[in-house]
Structure 1
């Protein structure tokens, strides 16, 4: 399944946001951490750079993590609530290096509203396309990071937060060697 480029970018940002709290580690502990996250994700717009803004992003992260593993009806309820609360009004925009894409809030809206609306708009595409099965949790036993499988053959099973795939494959190889020898 190929989504529109802005949908894929937004979905990857959702994955990266959720995974800032994966495996018991907090990677958005400070306003500076949030600054670095937003820069890496090329997220623009107004900022207050205060603890309330950081807390609102933490709340959003929890809501999106719940959507990631929710059934379709629950996901729809949450997505619709995020769109209502963000006062979504989709519009085509072109700026910086980005060609035409959707914005559903103004650049002056609070950060968490912009982030939640963008995430919700991307999740709308996933839900409408009946592709929620591409929203996974890493299959490594010791990892709870989320995974977005955009591969054609739906083969992605491990997250990008570390080296889960490599660790699992090495462990399986060693187990095969031990049982063979």
Structure 2
């Protein structure tokens, strides 16, 4: 028996890398608008910033899901026809499948302080920040209205860290 392609960690690795490359290209486009001062350029910059952040966030989410699928190989092989929903239920991802740290904690993935900072920087963009101007939680909205919307950083430092994190995870999964 073999693992279904839709639940194979290599499928998620490839998708993570493809989204990562798109994020890199988007970041370059974002940089080209950073110094513009007119209103139209400001709106373009905002859109490019959000789309860049969501692309990096999704790439990181996909590599973590790849790692979770890798850790679940034996379970996947033991099931007749497992579904993605059943996989999510294994780590309680059916409640919020976008929670980086739920995967990290459940599978005891060893991450450094810098890795945690990287994931913290992008975590809001898998939930709401890439799609909506404010979160659903009214207390969070009130805080943001009072203190401002500090939603993470796009830049070379996080680009490089994302690449390093994904490369390390792939190396772990490629060992076996």
RCO (CA 8 Å, sep 6+): is it higher in 1 or 2? 2
TM over 0.5: no
Q: TM-score, normalised by structure 2?
A: 0.28
More helix by share: 2
More strand by share: 1
